[in-house]
Amino acid sequence: MIKGWFSFFYVSLVNFNFLLLQEIKLEFMYWTLELASWLEDAPWPATKDELIDFAIRSGAPMEVIENLQEMEDEGEAYETIEEIWPDYPTKDDFFFNEDEY
């Protein structure tokens, strides 16, 4: 009898932890340089829906589309990718002199 209750408790706990991890995963949006680079050629300024449409048409990975879907939609257009991911590197972040080339 004790073994039966222990098994039920253990299975319930494992299922709860799995569901909790799934919920946390769904709420977590992450960007990498590789993922964000899929949006470099997007038609800026663009709304959330336009960016999702562009990502789908350009064959971007599902992570890009999921990240865009998780963004808050205020109905306003995003001017640049830096508004979506503030850490996106710009030309100012590179340390070479363009006049030399």
Q: Please, what's the b/e burial string for 66-84 (b: 16 or more CB within 10 A of its CB; e: otherwise)?
A: ebbeeeeeeeeebeebeeb
Tens of pLDDT, residues 47-65: 999 999 999 999 999 999 9
Tens of pLDDT, residues 66-98: 999 998 888 889 999 999 888 888 766 666 666
